[in-house]
Amino acid sequence: MTGRGGKMPSKTPARLCGNNPVVPDIRAQKCVHEEEKPGVEAVRKTLADFGAQVISEEPYGDRELTYEIQKRTRGRYVLFTITSSPEKIVEMDHQLKLNVNVMNFLFVRVEE
């Protein structure tokens, strides 16, 4: 689902955990492709460290942010579709909050 102009929706749903696949919406901190890699690599490493199975990774490219985050108005969006246990989601959530290369993220349970 996209908002106006084909952009991702500005409002994000509440965080949910469960045994179903989890889809985080990751906004990496840097916009330039070469500078963006640390944010995406940090997410990949965190997912691997906690044993999450990555089903797909879809880059959405650079987009305007709905509101300024860390004095930035643009961000690189990457959609990871993963499978993980609820306990691991809580731990990954904590680790991603501590990572300075990740501006914002969201875990969403996908109903089958």
Residue 88's Cβ-side half-sphere holds a number of Cα atoms within 13 Å equal to 16
Q: Which domain holds residue 22?
A: 15-106
The model's pTM = 0.63
Residue 40 lies in a domain: yes
Question: Using CA atoms, how far apart are residues 32 and 107, in angstroms rounded to an integer?
Answer: 25
* Sequence letter at residue 44: R
In a domain, 35, yes or no: yes
Q: Is residue 6 one of the residues assigned to a domain? A: no
| Domain-located, residue 45 | yes
Per the domain annotation, does 78 fall within a domain?
yes
Q: Is residue 2 part of a domain?
A: no
Asked if residue 42 belongs to a domain, the reply is yes
Q: What is the pLDDT of residues 24-36, one digit of tens each?
A: 544 444 344 455 5
Amino acid at 16: L
Domain count, the chain: 1
Query: Residue 45: which CATH number?
Result: 3.30.70.60
DSSP letters for 39-84: HHHHHHHHHHHTTPEEEEEEEEEEEEEEEEETTEEEEEEEEEEEE-
Does residue 112 form part of some domain? no
Contact 101, 95 (CB under 8 A): no
Regions of the chain short of the pLDDT cut 50: 1-5, 7-21, 25-33
Return the pLDDT at 36. 55
